[in-house]
Amino acid sequence: MRSERGYVAGLYARLDAERARVKGAYDAALRGDGATPVERDVEVRALAREAKRLDVADNGLCFGRLDTLSDERRYIGRIGLFDEENEYEAVLLDWRAPAARAFYVATAVSPEDMRRRRQFHTRGRQVVDFTDEVFGLPGGADRGDAALLAAVNAPRGEGMRDIVATIQAEQDRIIRLDHPGVLVIEGGPGTGKTVVALHRVAYLLYTQRERMQRHGVLVVGPNPALLNHISRVLPSLGESDVVFMTTGDFVPGLRVTADDTPEAARLKGSLKILDVLAAAIADRQRLPEQPVPIELGDVTVRIDAETAEWAREEARSSGLPHNEARAVFTEIVTYVLTERAIGRIGRGWLSRSDREAWERMRSDLLAELAENDTFTAALDELWPMLTPEALLASLYTSPERLRAAGADEALWRADGDAWTVPDVPLLDELVDLLGRDKAAEKSAEQAAERQREAEAEYAAGVMDILVARQDSMDDEDHLFATDLLHAEDLADRFVEQDTRELAERAAADRDWTYRHVVVDEAQELSEMDWRVLVRRCPNRSFTVVGDLAQRRSVAGATAWGAMLEPYVPGRWVYRSLSVNYRTPAEIMTVAAALLAEFAPGVQPPESVRACGVRPWSRQVTEDDLPAAIEEFVRDEAGREGTSVVIGPPGVPGAVAASETKGLEFDAVLVVEPERILADGPRGAAELYVALTRATQRLGVLHQGPLPRALAGLAETGTPARTGDRR
């Protein structure tokens, strides 16, 4: 024990020394002696990332050791550390390194040329104990699970914890899988599929750093609560170039304020909506019902239906998006009008052979058309510039436009701008179908440039003030000298480049593309959602995580192949996780009975542990329900860990099961399961999710008869304390 404590203490000493070195280099980079502002910024960013990597390693720096058959010792930890004199000699192996793989996969049957695995139990920086597993001994066919059970039995905190010290063999095989396309990881509740996917991202960033770091990684989750829950895992592993989004965040700046009916969500999620969008755009490319008179000089020319139809066909056949094709439409109409005007103005005296006079007259007419309000208004009526939001809002609020686009009347709504999550992929699609409004973009760029110039002027002004004050102070005032340096750096940065972090820049840019995308709860994504994701990742590198049995969305996946084959034919592989690390056997038995009813072909995951507490149920009256819920909340407030009340709409203090997807709690109270079960065709999946969120204690309150599938619950008729029910 003493030698291990000494070795780990030495690792921490190296870590502290490396931190000091990086800090010194960071301070020197800030001064930027002889470097351009761009060079300085690149170095500062790199050193800041390295400092962050070293900071997260402090907790659980070293968690194990491998002894090879040749008596070589390999210490395994969160990051790699190297000998000061020999930079190629690792004194601590990064858990992602190939040489560390045996720590997770070696068994007595397949020891991977290892003699022993040692797992450290630490408190802060101190090794307090360790567990040894010697390979080759009788009865040692399975990996010791003391560290794993300690982790899964520990009370839950606010966020998901990494599993870097307790990765299991089936998880490690998925994390290190070398597949360039789409990897689907399916597993039932508690199998760790989400955290495995996140560790896979950390592994890919380690092995493919140069390729992936510049563009970053996108993690997509079903709701903000889950993203907040999992957002700490990758930073705890030293990775920060990651963007977290829900499907409602795909359009920067858009606010989702409403919900769709199930039928509207189904229609919007289907690829058939693409025909509706195309038809809605075509419907706005109009022909005049009556010729539109345009006054040009001393003559009047007209935009008639024949002219507009010719211009429309030319614009459509150009293949350009709607807004960009307006230039083609305008060019044809302009050509016709100017030809007609010249023909009338020059009748009797202007010959076509007099090209100079002809072109001079055309130039004058073009200038006149550009200033003609009637002509501009006609163009706006016949081929308007459209934004995705304006087109979709006007479609939803007009029964006539819905009919013209061949859309179902279920898409109608009174408030066109009340955006829903299923609207987001449609708006994103329309960005490409409509194209850019270049005039508006130019105006926005000019405004942004004016803002940058103002900020640079402000920064330079701050520096001038600091210079003046510095001249009046003593040379020994080092703090003020640093302020002066930072002000100069600030002024340079405003002039030179965008200094936002990668995650911030990516989240604000609709056209940003990622090197890898993780999709959690992927069974909920619609066909249209997948189109958005494929646009965000052109090289089709995905880790897809889900459980078809937990699908709630009417537009979600019913089979992985049906959803993925159109985008990555033959380039996706499937892996499953079969062991439940979260849900104890007592609770999983109840959930498995429900699963057998609504998804009889699905095998429930096998729980790795029991908790010793039997799930319970109690029938209450409507009047008694609030007090029973308060009793649960009061009891759990006195315990360590987390708890939640899950129920249908209207239950006081309860959240919907869909809001807890991917989350876990020490204690869960499910209220009125009969109402959850009756909520549409996917109510059973919703109840299955609710039952499998608990890691220790599960209670059920019901007013009506308990659903048949929950007959395995122990019914209690007395208001005994929740924790005393066995």
From residue 176, how far is each of 65, 78, 139, 621 by CA, in Å?
20, 16, 28, 53
Q: Six-digit token pair at 438?
A: 């270049």
Helix, strand, or coil (residue 103): helix
Quote the DSSP letter at residue 135: T
Strands ordered across the beta sheet of 542-546: 242-246, 217-221, 516-519, 542-546, 182-187, 572-577
Quote the DSSP letter at residue 84: S
Distance CA 160, CA 192 (A): 10
DSSP string, 454-466: HHHHHHHHHHHHH
Going through 533-577 in order, the beta strands assigned E by DSSP cover 542-546, 572-577
193 is in an annotated binding site: yes
Distance CA 630, CA 609 (A): 30
Going through 572-615 in order, the beta strands assigned E by DSSP cover 572-577, 579-580, 606-607
Distance CA 287, CA 501 (A): 49
253 is in an annotated binding site: no
Task: Report CA Rg, the chain.
Answer: 33
From residue 340, how far is each of 335, 355, 425, 620 by CA, in Å?
9, 16, 45, 84
Distance CA 525, CA 557 (A): 7
191 is in an annotated binding site: yes
DSSP string, 318-340: TT--HHHHHHHHHHHHHHHHHHH
Q: Which residues contact 699 (CB under 8 A, 6 or more apart)?
A: 615, 616, 617, 618, 632, 667, 668, 669, 670, 722, 725
Q: Six-digit token pair at 318?
A: 């150009």
Distance CA 42, CA 468 (A): 30
717 is in an annotated binding site: no
387 is in an annotated binding site: no
User: Within 10 A of 443 (CB to CB), how many other CB atoms are there?
Assistant: 11
6 is in an annotated binding site: no
Label residue 570 left, alpha or beta by phi (over 0 means left) and psi (-120 to 50 means alpha). left
Binding site, residues? 187-194
Binding site for ATP, residues? 187-194
